[in-house]
Structure 1
Amino acid sequence: MAEAQLFVSQDDFTCSMCLDTLTDPVTIPCGHSFCLKCLTDCWDQSQECSCPQCRHTFTTRPTLRRNTLLNEILKKFTKTRLCSPPSQNYAGPGYVECDFCTGKKLRAMKSCLTCPASYCQTHLQPHYEVAAWKDHKLVDPDRNLKEKLCEKHQKSLEIFCETDDTCICMMCGVTEHNGHKMVKLETEREEKQVSGV
């Protein structure tokens, strides 16, 4: 009989309190799991016992017991992860984070000026596969996406108005800068780089 493959990521074993891999996992009556220390510290500092994730309140403090099944799965997952190289890197200092990752954020591979958001390799896939997103403007990861958007129309700045010496979006070009001398932003950038301005 063929063995089924199970695809899991580190996020599936992350404590939502410390955002690290579960340590001594305990599962509370609502079904959520946390590190024993994280949950104990939280409840010791609070007047009531509630789930940090779904906020379900318990009338009496539940007895916490280690989730042995989850603990065994974590051991196997950790061992497997140590044997194989990581497929993707988490965003560290100096890197742009994926806007769609939950828990620990993966490093963004591209930023989309149309959306505007930054995406890891997994969350970027729809931009290559969904027909409606294929014409979106993808650039290298950029943490300053807001600066590349027109404040008025929230569209990407793609045109340079030579008359007003400013970057504008297509809507501005049609409405407020009609009749002005305009060039593509890339053209203006190249000319300035050549002239050393």
Structure 2
Amino acid sequence: MAEAPLCGLQDEFTCSVCLDTLTDPVTILCGHSFCLKCLTDCWDQTQECSCPQCKHTFTTRPELNSNILLNEVIKKLKKMTLSSPPPKNYAGPGDVECDFCTGKKFTAVKSCLTCMASYCQTHLQPHYEGSAWKGHKLVGPDGNLKEKLCVEHQKSLEIFCKTDDSCICMMCVVTGHNGYKMVELETEREDKEKQLGATLRDIKKGLEEREKTLKEMRRAMNEMKVSGIGRQHFTSKRGEI
């Protein structure tokens, strides 16, 4: 019976750097635990040593010692979940992967058209909490973000040039479309949708009118057939007399 609650705590044994189960776990003074290699790599790349999760900064680089108790618990957890299917939040075939996960990729929950990247729930949090990401445009997971980049400048396509009838980036506006007639891409999309809607309504109306005309023709033909049969029957009766 101990297996069920322990499996429910699997996220508690996940390294927030690689987003995988802790390997050779170390616990630092702020209480957070990481893989020894993940934390060592993080600190080797910067002069300031801070917790990757809570950002607590240490004046001197702490000595990293393995958390023996935590390591034993994780080993037991791995044995109990060895035959279990992988978590549903791992990206599978057809899923959009998070661009910032290392190791096993988690499924993206949102794509950012400003950053031109996709994020899992964990890596998406700064977009909701940080002022630097305020105003970024989030959409559903999109696996074709590269198609929304300008081929020449590798910037997001935000403008529609009516003169050239093409989607361009802000760099294109500055370098080659000065004086051209342009609108925001979203505005052009809305206009196109309105035009398409009007066209579809016209087509539907035309089909309804044709259907009405066809029904009237069928009714007239049926009436002519009935009338012809009546006249033939009347002529036949007169001949018998």
TM-score (norm 1): 0.58
CA contact (8 A) 1:111 1:119 kept: yes
- Between the two proteins, the alignment pairs up a number of residues equal to 139
Using the alignment, how far apart are the partners of 1:78 and 1:128 within structure 2?
A: 37
Spell out, residue by residue over 1:50-99, the C-alpha distance to the aligned partner (whole angstroms, 9 max, x if none). Answer: xxxxxxxxxxxxxxxxxxx856533336759x9xxx6x611111110001
Using the alignment, how far apart are the partners of 2:150 and 2:112 within structure 1?
A: 15
Residue 182 of structure 1 and its aligned partner are, at CA, apart by 1.0
Tell me the equivalent position of 1:99. Answer: 99
The within-5 A match list for 1:1-150 is 7-9=12-14, 11-13=20-22, 70=71, 72-76=73-77, 89-150=89-150
Residue 151 of structure 1 and its aligned partner are, at CA, apart by 2.3
Tell me the equivalent position of 2:174. Answer: 174
The alignment's C-alpha RMSD in Å is: 3.4
Structure 1 segments of 4 or more deviating over 4 A?
Answer: 69-72, 77-80
Change (3 A) 1:170 1:71: same
CA contact (8 A) 2:13 2:74 kept: no
Change (3 A) 1:78 1:179: farther
2:20 aligned counterpart, secondary structure: helix
Using the alignment, how far apart are the partners of 1:165 and 1:11 within structure 2?
A: 47
Tell me the equivalent position of 1:162. Answer: 162
Using the alignment, how far apart are the partners of 1:155 and 1:126 within structure 2?
A: 22
Of all paired residues, the percent bearing the same amino acid is 68
TM-score (norm 2): 0.49
Using the alignment, how far apart are the partners of 1:74 and 1:156 within structure 2?
A: 45
Give the structure with the higher percent helix.
2
1:190 aligned counterpart, secondary structure: helix
Spell out, residue by residue over 1:86-119, the C-alpha distance to the aligned partner (whole angstroms, 9 max, x if none). Answer: 6x61111111000111222111011122222111
Change (3 A) 1:162 1:185: same
Higher RCO structure, 1 or 2 (CA under 8 Å, sep 6+): 1
2:183 aligned counterpart, secondary structure: strand
Where in structure 1 are there 5+ consecutive unaligned residues?
15-30, 33-68
1:11 aligned counterpart, secondary structure: coil
Using the alignment, how far apart are the partners of 2:79 and 2:140 within structure 1?
A: 32
Change (3 A) 1:193 1:102: same
Spell out, residue by residue over 1:106-165, the C-alpha distance to the aligned partner (whole angstroms, 9 max, x if none). Answer: 110111222221110100111222211223232221111111111232221111101100
2:97 aligned counterpart, secondary structure: coil
Where in structure 2 are there 5+ consecutive unaligned residues?
1-8, 24-35, 38-69, 200-241
Tell me the equivalent position of 1:152. Answer: 152
Kindly name which structure, 1 or 2, has the bigger radius of gyration based on alpha carbons: 2
Tell me the equivalent position of 2:230. Answer: none
Change (3 A) 1:183 1:75: same
Change (3 A) 1:12 1:76: closer
1:189 aligned counterpart, secondary structure: helix
